[in-house]
Amino acid sequence: MHPSEFIVCEHCDVVYQRADLIRKQSACCVRCGAELYRAPAMHLQTMLALVVTSLFLFVIANAYPLISMQMNGIDHASTLIDSVAAAWHSGVGPIAVMTALAVVLFPLTQIVLLGYLLTSLIMLHRDPPGFVDLMHALRLMRPWSMVEVYLIGALVAVVKMAGMASVRAEPGLYALGALTFLLALINAFDLRLLWDARDRLVE
Amino acid sequence: MKYRTATEMGLLPCEACGMVCRETAYIEHPCCPRCDAPLHHRKFDSLRRSWAFLIAAAVLYIPANTLPIMRTKTLIYDLNSTIIGGIRVLWEDGSWDLALIVFVASICVPILKIVTLTILLISARRRSRWARRGRARLYRILEFVGQWSMLDVFVVALLVSLVDFGKVAEVHAGPGAIAFGAVVVLTMLASMSFDPRLIWDEFPDENPS
Ligand SMILES: [Zn+2]
Ligand SMILES: [Zn+2]
């Protein structure tokens, strides 16, 4: 038996023999209940389309203000980057760094890396240079990317300020909402599929 | 039902790419042939590292809740607010739904994380057989909710940039926000360091197969 026929539960170490799944099925560990693997929800091509769309949304979400606020006739709008810069100038550097990493840098890197790897593998049918290192980077960044948390945070901020002044949601916030939805789909993507795609290519 | 574990079968699953490798006795530090990640049966030094992060998080949890996370300055008042204070304001303003979200994300989740991880760490060390399936599920929930505690930190960052009207109204971030952010990062590191496979491990002598 070749070891690749096996799948090992990451949560309890039980060994199973891999079986083919049909769409929307998933295999769960009998002992601990964790999901072992699932049938791919979409083709790699669809995933690439989602990644490209999310890159556009990311640009919009960052270029346009998220929220604007009016007080005493002064209009004040704030973008995502503004909130990072303001945290930095407000003397809470660590908060600025955390926000910049979790909401800007990690999600952007994830989108760009996935786009690059998918394009190279399925459009150009080429083994992308640096594949192994980039895959490790993708896996390590995943838990630290927090766009969805930031979105809810923005909603909380809107409500908090609503009593104090007139607050308006701006285009960036809508883009951020759509981006959150796409990133949820992208983050559910099983990176092992990319390893498999590359194995098929190299053979 | 008897389960066959990878450790018993001499298999080494790669945590990074999912490849299952065969153990070879003569290689001291095996690496994954596909992705070059070091292979080991259990996460390295899991319990000790997890404890270290957890204790640091528990200690920082105190300043995170007692120090102000935000200072609101207007012409009328100058208010330092802690996390609890912010939730009370939301509640009194009538947005009880958001107050509930913030309460769950910034009070319940961190406390539950610290308590749950403590239970997991103690029971894993004692190789307890108590409620293994339940503990395994707890760990998966823990991994899922981890980042949501960051909510309040992001709210503060946004308010600081948004409410900047000079003397009329201004919001500054407080030191509590840094402590709170550190708590979130540390609890996430603690749960990542914990190896859920330890929940299922038996003492060697109790396992005659
Ligand atoms: Zn399992
Ligand atoms: Zn590997």
Per-residue pLDDT of chain A (203 residues; tens, 9 = 90+): 444 678 899 999 999 988 888 878 889 999 999 998 888 878 899 999 999 999 999 999 999 999 998 877 888 888 999 889 988 888 888 999 999 999 999 999 999 999 999 999 988 888 889 999 999 999 999 999 999 999 999 988 888 787 777 888 899 999 999 999 999 999 888 888 898 888 888 77
Question: What is the nearest CA distance from A72 to chain B, expressed in angstroms?
Answer: 8
Question: Which helix (H) or strand (E) element contains residue A90?
Answer: none
* pTM > 0.80: yes
Percent of chain A with pLDDT over 90: 50
Asked if B155 lies within 8 A of A153 by C-beta distance, the reply is: yes
Structural domain boundaries in chain A: 1-39, 42-202
If you measure from the C-alpha of residue A9 to the centroid of ligand 1, how many angstroms do you get, rounded to a whole number? 5
pLDDT of residue B122: 94
Name the residue with higher pLDDT: B102 or B178: B178
Asked if A195 lies within 8 A of B18 by C-beta distance, the reply is: yes
- Residues sharing a CB contact under 8 Å with residue B150, sequence separation 6 or more, in sequence order: A98, A102, A146, A149, A153, B181, B184
From residue A64, alpha-carbon distances to A35, A54, A160, B161 in Å are 39, 15, 21, 14
How many degrees, rounded to 5, is the angle at CA B147 between CA B143 and CA B151?
150
Task: Give the pLDDT confidence of B57-92 residue by residue, as tens digits.
Answer: 999 999 999 999 888 888 888 888 888 888 888 888
Chain centroid to Cα B100, Å, comes to: 20
* CA atoms of A41 and A188, how far apart (whole Å): 9
From residue B135, alpha-carbon distances to A203, B66, B113 in Å are 41, 31, 13
Q: Please tell me which of the candidates A14, A74, A87 has its beta carbon nearest to residue B4.
A: A14
DSSP letter assigned to residue A41: S
How many degrees, rounded to 5, is the angle at CA B151 between CA B181 and CA A41?
115
ipTM of the complex: 0.89
Q: Which ligand is nearest to the CA of B12?
A: 2
Task: Give the pLDDT confidence of B99-133 residue by residue, as tens digits.
Answer: 888 888 888 888 989 999 999 999 998 888 888 89
Cα Rg of chain B, angstroms:
22
At B206, the pLDDT band (50, 70, 90 cuts) reads low
Name the residue with higher pLDDT: B24 or B157: B157
Asked if A95 lies within 8 A of B15 by C-beta distance, the reply is: no
Question: Domains, chain B, ranges and CATH?
Answer: 1-41 (no CATH), 45-199 (1.20.140)
* CA atoms of B161 and B29, how far apart (whole Å): 50
* CA atoms of A59 and B196, how far apart (whole Å): 38
* CA atoms of A124 and A119, how far apart (whole Å): 7
Residue the block writes with tokens 């080429």: A126
CB B19 within 8 Å of CB A4: yes
Q: Please tell me which of the candidates A32, A90, A159 has its beta carbon nearest to residue B98.
A: A159
- Classify residue A91 by burial, with Cβ atoms within 10 Å: 0-12, 13-18, 19+: middle
Task: Give the pLDDT confidence of A26-41 residue by residue, as tens digits.
Answer: 899 999 999 988 888 7
Side chain identity at residue A186, one-letter code: I
How many degrees, rounded to 5, is the angle at CA A184 between CA A61 and CA A150?
45
Name the residue with higher pLDDT: B206 or B195: B195
Task: Give the pLDDT confidence of A148-176 residue by residue, as tens digits.
Answer: 999 999 988 888 787 777 888 899 999 99
Asked if B163 lies within 8 A of A69 by C-beta distance, the reply is: yes
